[in-house]
Amino acid sequence: MTLYNFAGTLVPIALLTFVAFRIPMWKRNPDSRPLTKVLAALGLGQAARIPVLSDDYVDVWLHDLTGIWNIPDATAVLLGTFAFCCIGEAVATVVQSPSFNKTRHRLFTATMVTVAGVGFLLSPATDTPTNFVSRDFPPTGPLLLYWGAYLGTLLYALVFALYYLFGLLRERRVRSGPLGRIVAVLAAACSLGFLYGINKLLYLVLQAAGVENWYTDHAQTITLVLVLGPMIIAGYALLVFATAILPDRLRRYQAIRAYSAEYEKIVATGTNMLIPRDAAVYSTRRAAWKGSRTPVATHRMMVVLSDAAKGPVSA
């Protein structure tokens, strides 16, 4: 198996595995949905282009069914366009941008995906099978719509993401902590994604001009490196989370679990005037884990328990 085939198989497996771990958060944490949509769309798009399956089996079967060639390639591009649109939504959710309009964003997403799909259906790429549409069909006519929607959305989304990520890094309280390292590696991943878009755009321009040189001969390898780069960097971000943030959260979780029953009794009896009777309690593991996300819940619990040990707090 070549490096391209190996990477083409590994990337979707890794992405979809990560999505599987995030699915339980979909209902209880709406803010997690945009990033989950990004990862799911990218994973499914890459799965549609697994070389050992799509070229020899899936593409042939879909052609027999529809009379159209290169549907797996188009599926990857359409899902990629959708994922790139969702990057903007994910970043806007994280930074809580007040100017972000979900309705306008969804209209933009639907428009870009439709433009890419129409461009593909009107192009000659539907008539001839190929391993790489970008290599064997010049980006002219309808394929300009196809690649324009894909790369235009990618570059726009990454510029949008980088603007906000670098904005976060300018804040000292973010830059100096573990969160700063995560933001920095995410910015690095977005930068590599931006280079991937520029690389793809440059290759298409050179191909349209009929230029053949070392770069055009190795463009696929360069693309592969730029695709794997963000995956490696994202893995490093997870490692930072596991070593720098997760241990503190686990300690908070254990403290909440250890004192949750006593804390719930104090809240229910209303003997402490600092907290209302309907204050959040952490009687289940899920509630305790959610409460351990920041030190606030643990600190409030410890203050209430300390006050209870000293006696009732009166107004």
* Residues spanned by the domain of 199: 3-217
b/e 278-296 (16+ beta carbons within 10 angstroms → b) = ebebbeeeebbbbbbeeee
Structure tokens at 186: 């995410």
Q: Give pLDDT, residue 108.
A: 93
Same domain, 51 and 135: yes
Query: Given a cut of 70, is residue 311 above it in pLDDT?
Result: no
Displacement of CA 199 from its chain's centroid (Å):
21
Same domain, 72 and 141: yes
Angle between helices 71-95 and 59-66 (to 10 degrees): 110
Q: What is the mean pLDDT of residues 189-214?
A: 89
Q: Into how many domains does the chain fold?
A: 2
Domain assignment of residue 276, yes or no: yes
Domain assignment of residue 224, yes or no: no
CATH number, domain containing residue 152: 1.20.1070
Same domain, 261 and 145: no
Q: What is the mean pLDDT of residues 306-312?
A: 67
Q: In this predicted structure, which of 2-11, 26-35, 86-95, 306-315 has the lowest mean pLDDT?
A: 306-315
Q: Give pLDDT, residue 55.
A: 82
Domain assignment of residue 52, yes or no: yes
At 272 the three-state DSSP class reads strand
pLDDT digits (tens, 9 = 90+) for 108-167: 999 999 999 999 999 999 999 998 898 889 888 999 999 999 999 999 999 988 988 888
Domain assignment of residue 303, yes or no: yes
Q: Report residue 313: phi and psi, to 5°.
A: -95, 120
Q: Report residue 294: phi and psi, to 5°.
A: -130, 165
Same domain, 210 and 281: no
Domain assignment of residue 227, yes or no: no
pLDDT digits (tens, 9 = 90+) for 207-251: 888 888 898 888 878 887 887 777 677 667 667 666 767 788 888
Same domain, 269 and 153: no
Residue 192's closest CA among 241, 139, 234, 149? 234
Q: Give pLDDT, residue 315.
A: 39
Q: What is the mean pLDDT of residues 37-50?
A: 91
The full DSSP string for 35-63 is: HHHHHHHHHHHHHHT-HHHIIIIIHHHHH
Same domain, 121 and 259: no
Q: Give pLDDT, residue 31.
A: 85
Q: Give pLDDT, residue 313.
A: 45
pLDDT digits (tens, 9 = 90+) for 64-109: 999 999 999 999 999 999 999 998 888 888 777 778 888 999 999 9
Domain assignment of residue 65, yes or no: yes
Domain assignment of residue 262, yes or no: yes
pLDDT digits (tens, 9 = 90+) for 249-293: 888 888 888 888 888 887 777 665 566 555 677 878 888 888 887
pLDDT digits (tens, 9 = 90+) for 157-188: 999 889 888 888 888 877 777 677 778 877 88
Q: Give pLDDT, residue 267.
A: 76
Q: Give pLDDT, residue 60.
A: 94
